[in-house]
Structure 1
Amino acid sequence: MKLETPNKSINKSSKELYEFLEDVKNFEKLMPENISKFEILGEDKFLFALKGMPEIVLKMKEKTPYSKLVLGSASDKVPFTLTANINEVSESTSEVNLVFEGEFNAMMGMMIKGPITNFINTLSDNMTKTV
C-alpha cells in the first residue's frame, strides 16, 4: 500500500525544514489533536498513540540532507515507512510531501487506509502551520 500527500508549500528553506524534521522531538508538534501518547525513546526514535489505535514506534531509517527523511516502523510485525520528500523552491520556501508505504494484507489495508491517510494529511497540514 502506498499513500501520498499533495505537495505543501512551507515558508522555510529546505535546510530549515529538514533540520526541523530531523529532530524527532518536533514530531509531537505535528501530531493530530487526537494523540493520546507521545514519548521520545532516543535521538532517532519516538512512540506515539492516537485514540483508539495501538502504539506505534517510529525510528529514523534514512537521511539525505535537505531533501529526504525516512522514518520506519521499529516493529517487524507491521513494517512500513513514512518518507518526507523536501524540494527547495527558493531560498526561503520549500515544498514537502509525505509518502506512507507498507505491506499489509487486503483486510488490514482496508481497515487502515482511511486513518493513515488522515494521519499523514494532518502531519502535512500541521507542517505549514508549525515549522
Structure 2
Amino acid sequence: MHIEATKKQVAKSDKEVFEFLTDIKNFETLMPDNIDKFEVLDENTFKFALKGMPEIVLRLKEQNPNDKVVLGAASDKLPFTLTANITSLGENESEVALSFEGQFNAMMAMMIKSPITNFMETLSTNMDKIGQ
C-alpha cells in the first residue's frame, strides 16, 4: 500500500527541515490534535497513539543529510515506512513530500487506508510548525 501526502512548502532551508525531522522528539509538534500518547523511547525511537487506535512505535531507519528521512515500524508485525523527501527551493524555502509504504493484507489495507491518509495529511499540514 502506497500513500502520498500533499507536498508542503516550508519557509525553512532543507538543512533546517532535515535537522528538525531527525530529532525525533520534534514529531510531537507534527502530530494531530487527537493524539492520545507520545513518548520518546530513545534518540531514534518514539511511540504514539491516536485516540481509538493502537500504539505505533517508529524508529529512525535512514537519513540522507538535507534530503531524506525514513522512519519505519519497530515491529515486524506491521511492516511500513514513513519517508520525508526534502527538496531545496532556495536559501530559506524547501518542499517536503511525505509518503507511506506498507505491506498489508487486503482487509487490513481497507481498514487503515483512510486513517493513515488523514494522518499523513495532518503531518504535512503541520510542517508549518517547524522552527516555531
* CA distance 1:92–1:123, change in 2 (3 Å): same
Counterpart AA for 1:93: E
Q: How many residues align?
A: 131
User: CA offset at residue 130 of structure 1?
Assistant: 3.8
Say whether residues 1:19 and 2:19 are aligned partners: yes
> Which segment is superposed worse, 25-34 or 120-129?
120-129
| 1:56 aligns to 2:78 (yes or no) | no
CA distance in 2, matches of 1:16, 1:48: 24
1:33 is paired with a residue whose SS is coil
Task: For residue 6 of structure 1, report the CA deviation from its aligned partner.
Answer: 1.9
Supply the distance in 2 between the matched residues of 1:55 and 1:120 (Cα, whole angstroms).
16
Q: What are the ranges of 5 or more consecutive residues in structure 2 without an aligned counterpart?
A: none
* 1:18-63 alpha-carbon deviations (Å, 9 max, x no partner): 0000100000010000000000000000000000000000000000
Q: SS where residue 41 of structure 1 aligns?
A: strand
- CA shift at 1:128, angstroms? 1.8
Report the 3-state secondary structure (helix = DSSP H, G, I; strand = E; otherwise coil) of the residue aligned with 2:40: strand
> Is the 2:46–2:58 contact (alpha carbons within 8 Å) kept by the matching residues of 1?
yes
Shift of 1:76: 0.4
5+ unaligned residues in a row in structure 1: which ranges? none
CA distance in 1, matches of 2:16, 2:70: 17
The aligned residue for residue 2 of structure 2 is: 2
Q: Which structure 1 residue ranges, 4+ long, deviate > 6 Å from structure 2?
A: none
Q: Report what 2:80 is aligned to.
A: 80
Q: TM-score, normalised by structure 1?
A: 0.98
| 1:110 match | 110
- Aligned-residue Cα RMSD (Å) equals 0.7
Residue 97 (structure 2) aligns with: 97
State how far apart, in whole Å, the 2-side matches of 1:101 and 1:53 are: 19
